[in-house]
Amino acid sequence: MGSVNLSESEIIRFFSGQNLLITGALGSCGRIFLEKILRTVTSVGTIFLLIRPKFNLTPEQRFQRLFRSTLFKFHSYSENQLSKIVIVEGDITQSDLALRSNDAKRLRESVNIVFHIAASVNFAVPFSPKEAKFYNLVSSSLNRQRIPENYELLLYGIKLLNETPSIYMIRPTFTPQRTNNHNPTLYKVKRFFYHTVFAVLIDALLTLCRQKPILCKAVRKMHTMCDAFKFFANNEWQFQCDNFKSLIESLNETDSKLFKIDVRKLDFYLHTENSIKFARRYVLNESEKNVFIARIKFKM
């Protein structure tokens, strides 16, 4: 945090001694929020994490797996700070969060602030805008990303992937054509001939070669995913964010440096570049030294 004087932070002062309840701490957004709290708000009170058992792992085991992930390897955290974390078994999809009676009592008596970050990632669930009062947004009126900009950003990402490929990539990435299939019938015809027929032919060849057919199954999964995202891809919503703008303007100099929430300053191209570098280094565990070898394999 450099030369930032934490004592001048109004946000840290607000959270000092406050007990938090966080849902979705193991998700993409929740884990980043938790790491920021642990690293920055050292005067916070107890941090309750609502976690459900999953994949035959207890909530405690799932948290330990999270804490061993790359995100928490860049900084050190004091034992005192880590001791503030309390794992509470629960499930937001169940009645009364599936809490034990003693846990529910403790939360009611202790919690000052709730951060509800948990969300369903099942895009196949029926969605009615009339029933929802709040939405999660990827783009906002502060830094709107429309189709043309997204396409140029995609091309930039493909260019970076071709320049610094992974050794796991088996061929150059292709550049998708910009198409608008607003005609449902035309879309289904194209999907059948471009995807299904091709998959059937390839699987037939694999079968003849006594290999396991795999492409038809992959195409079905891809179509299911496309159908799930179709509603969101074909609709656009605009929301006013006057309160968020006011929040940005209300931050003092210290908090503006500690909590960079002004998305108008976000460079999506730099963000894409950093994401690709991060994925190579920390997701695929590849060194920069093997870029040359990867390029050779990439062009074979």
Instruction: Give me the pLDDT at residue 236, please.
Output: 77
Q: Cβ of 66: how many Cβ atoms within 10 Å? A: 19
Residue 256 pLDDT exceeds 70: yes
Distance, in Å, from the CA atom of 247 to the CA atom of 255, rounded to the nearest integer, reads 11
**pLDDT confidence tier of residue 139, bands split at 50, 70 and 90:** very low
Residue with structure tokens 């059937």?
200
The region that residue 257 occupies, defined by phi over 0 for left and psi between -120 and 50 for alpha, beta otherwise, is alpha
Range from 37-51, 158-172, 184-198, 215-229 carrying the lowest mean pLDDT: 158-172
Percent of the chain at pLDDT exceeding 90: 49
Q: pLDDT tier at 175 (50, 70, 90 boundaries)?
A: low
CB 117 within 8 A of CB 33: yes
Task: Give the 3-state secondary structure of 170-205.
Answer: CCCCCCCCCCCCCCHHHHHHHHHHHHHHHHHHHHHH
Q: What is the pLDDT of residue 37?
A: 96
Instruction: Say if residues 15 and 47 touch (Cβ distance below 8 Å).
Output: no
- When pLDDT is cut at 50, 70 and 90, the band that residue 285 belongs to is confident
Check: CB of residue 214 under 8 Å from CB of residue 203: yes
pLDDT tens digits for range 78-127: 999 999 999 999 999 899 999 999 999 999 999 999 999 998 776 666 65
pLDDT (mean) for 229-239? 77
Q: pTM higher than 0.85 for the full model? A: no
Give the highest mean pLDDT range of 15-19, 165-169, 266-270. 15-19
- pLDDT for position 134: 40
Mean pLDDT of 126-144: 48
Higher pLDDT, 300 or 281: 281
pLDDT average, residue stretch 134-148: 47
pLDDT of residue 174: 56
* pLDDT for the residue numbered 268: 86
Higher-pLDDT residue of 5 and 59 is: 59
Two structure tokens written together for 24: 């979705």
> Could you tell me if 137 and 46 are in contact, meaning their C-beta atoms sit under 8 angstroms apart?
no
Output the average pLDDT for the chain: 83
Q: Where are the beta strands (DSSP E) in the chain?
A: 20-23, 47-51, 85-89, 113-116
- The CA distance from 185 to 187, in Å, is 5
Nearest to 279 by CA among 195, 191, 199, 166: 166
For residue 187, give the nearest of 237, 235, 126, 230 by alpha carbon. Answer: 230
Measured from the Cβ of residue 99, the count of other Cβ atoms closer than 10 Å reads 19
Is residue 277 predicted with pLDDT exceeding 80? yes
What's the gap between Cα 188 and its chain centre? 30
Provide mean pLDDT across the span 235-251: 86
Instruction: Give the residue-averaged pLDDT of 177-200.
Output: 83
Q: Say how far apart CA 20 and CA 37 lie, in whole Å.
A: 10
CB < 8 Å & 24+ apart, contacts of 265-272 = 266/143, 268/145, 268/149, 268/153, 269/153, 269/156, 272/153, 272/156, 272/157, 272/160
